[in-house]
């Protein structure tokens, strides 16, 4: 499992989101005049951030599956130990 917390890519994503918000505010007040192709940049960035969020959710789901598998394996090992103890000490 991976450690949780802010890594470089998380920080980069938040900085990109902050830049997009500042750009949108300045654009809405008319301080920034940009060509049409550049106006669509925030949309592309938002799609990227949404994809990144979905990827992180997928990683969390995989970690949960691994934990469930580990839990079942642990339960099986405990049950096997219990059975071995009963077999060995019931003689």
d(CA 27, CA 36): 12
Query: 56 or 88, which is more confident?
Result: 56
Length of the chain as a residue count: 91
Q: pLDDT value at position 91?
A: 62
The pLDDT assigned to 1 comes to: 47
Assess contact for 50 and 28: CB atoms under 8 A.
no
Rounded to two decimals, the pTM is: 0.47
| 31-80 pLDDT per residue, tens | 888 787 777 887 888 888 888 888 888 889 999 999 999 999 999 999 88
Banded model confidence at residue 3, pLDDT cuts 50, 70, 90: low
The dihedral over CA atoms of 45, 48, 53, 55, expressed in degrees to the nearest 10, equals -170
Burial 9-38 (b: 16+ CB within 10 A, else e): eeeebeebeeebeebeeeeeeeeeeeeeee
């Amino acid at each position: 499992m991976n450690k949780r917390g802010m890594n470089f890519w998380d920080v980069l994503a938040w900085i990109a989101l902050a830049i997009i918000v500042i750009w949108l505010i300045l654009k809405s007040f008319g301080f920034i005049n940009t060509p049409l192709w550049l106006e669509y940049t925030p949309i592309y960035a938002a799609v990227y951030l949404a994809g990144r969020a979905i990827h992180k959710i997928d990683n969390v789901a995989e970690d949960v599956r691994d934990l469930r598998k580990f839990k079942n394996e642990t339960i099986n090992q405990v049950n096997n130990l219990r059975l071995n103890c009963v077999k060995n000490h019931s003689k």
